[in-house]
Amino acid sequence: MKKRHWFWNLLIVLTLIVCLMAFVIHYKNWHKIKEGELRILSGIYYQKVPLSEMDSITMVNRLPEMERSSGFSWMMKEKGIFLDSLNQTKTYVFVDDLTQQKIRLVHHDSIKTFFNFQDSIQTQKIYAILQTELEKARKNHNDF
């Protein structure tokens, strides 16, 4: 019996590790609110939203009609960059569960981001935090 070369064994192990890592980072939305920014990561899709640039935030039950520019759908997940059917603007989608409510965040005047998390309570908590930040920013803006 002939022995397999160590290089091929190493290549197989590295391939499996890369595939597992790709699955893990796409499996759910990773988020962080830090230094005045909301950061959302899901695989290769990343969105950085300065809290001071938020224009509106609402909860929606359904995603609007959009064309996929890049991204994927798998079971109840929808991730990627889409084009709004009406005005062809970019819309970022980070939805872990299509059956639950989604946060619709508009920032920089017209950029829309839809997102939610597997846990609806976590989605509600992030919504409350962002709503508070938006109200603070509006109050500070009106004070000037």
The pLDDT score that the predictor gives to residue 143 is: 65
User: Amino acid identity of 96?
Assistant: D
Q: Give the separation between CA 27 and CA 137, rounded to whole angstroms.
A: 33
The pLDDT score that the predictor gives to residue 38 is: 93
**Phi then psi dihedrals of residue 79, to 5 deg:** -135, 145
**CA nearest neighbour of 92 among 137, 129, 33, 48:** 48
**Helix (H/G/I), strand (E/B), else coil: 40:** strand
The pLDDT score that the predictor gives to residue 12 is: 92
**Any residues with CB less than 8 A from the CB of 40 and at least 6 apart, and which?**
29, 30, 31, 46, 47, 49, 92, 94, 113, 115
pLDDT by residue, tens only, the chain of 144 residues: 566 688 888 999 999 999 888 777 777 888 999 988 999 988 888 899 999 889 999 999 999 888 888 888 888 889 999 998 777 788 999 999 999 999 999 998 889 999 999 999 999 999 999 999 888 877 876 665
Please report the domains of the chain, with CATH numbers, ordered by start residue. 6-143 (2.30.29)
Q: Do 51 and 37 contact (CB within 8 A), yes or no?
A: yes
Q: Which pair of tokens denotes residue 92? A: 């970022």
The residues that bridge with 70 in the sheet, in sequence order, are 81
Q: Do 33 and 134 contact (CB within 8 A), yes or no?
A: no
Q: Which pair of tokens denotes residue 1? A: 């019996």
Q: Which pair of tokens denotes residue 74? A: 């798998």
